[in-house]
């Protein structure tokens, strides 16, 4: 047996690294955040600055999509009063343009907007869930 004092054994415990508990349990302080572990969903749930940045990025992309639709709508509908003023005697043409010529592009624009907004949300979820 050695003459010096023996070193005491220390047992280190903590949450498993592969299966972290739900973010709500961590936010209450039961499980400290593992340093170096990056999880965007936790950042959003805990409303940190980084989580706020993620949400703002989604809002910016959705706003950019809405502004693009608004610009196309303005270019599509904006010149119509000038066109109608240039041809005051063509009442049937005006109704045809408004009823048939404008309806199809508006439906296509609305479909594009919905598909683009859903794609933005899917990309955001994929980013947040680390897929």
The tens digit of pLDDT for each residue in 52-87 reads: 787 888 899 999 999 999 999 999 999 988 988 898
Question: What pLDDT band is residue 48 in, cutting at 50, 70 and 90?
Answer: confident
How far apart, in Å, are the Cα atoms of 111 and each of 7, 9, 77, 114?
71, 66, 17, 5
Please tell me the distance from the alpha carbon of residue 106 to that of residue 76, in angstroms, as a whole number: 9
How high is the pLDDT of residue 65? 96
pLDDT band at 125 (very low <50, low <70, confident <90, very high): confident
In degrees and rounded to multiples of 5, residue 21 shows phi and psi of: -70, 170
In the predicted model, is pLDDT for residue 30 greater than 70? no
pTM, to two decimals: 0.61
pLDDT at 119: 95
109 neighbors 72 (Cβ within 8 angstroms): yes
> Would the pLDDT of 124 be above 80?
yes
């Amino acid at each position: 047996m050695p003459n010096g004092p023996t070193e005491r054994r220390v047992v280190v415990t903590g949450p498993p690294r592969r299966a972290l508990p739900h973010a709500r349990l961590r936010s209450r302080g039961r499980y400290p955040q593992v340093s170096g572990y990056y999880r965007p969903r936790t950042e959003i749930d805990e409303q940190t600055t980084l989580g706020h940045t993620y949400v703002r990025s989604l809002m910016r992309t959705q706003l950019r999509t809405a502004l693009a639709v608004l610009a196309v709508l303005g270019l599509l509908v904006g010149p119509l009063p000038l066109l109608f003023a240039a041809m005051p005697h063509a009442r049937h043409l005006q109704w045809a343009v408004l009823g048939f010529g404008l309806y199809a592009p508006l439906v296509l624009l609305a479909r594009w907007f919905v598909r683009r907004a859903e794609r933005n949300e899917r990309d955001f979820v994929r980013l947040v869930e680390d897929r």
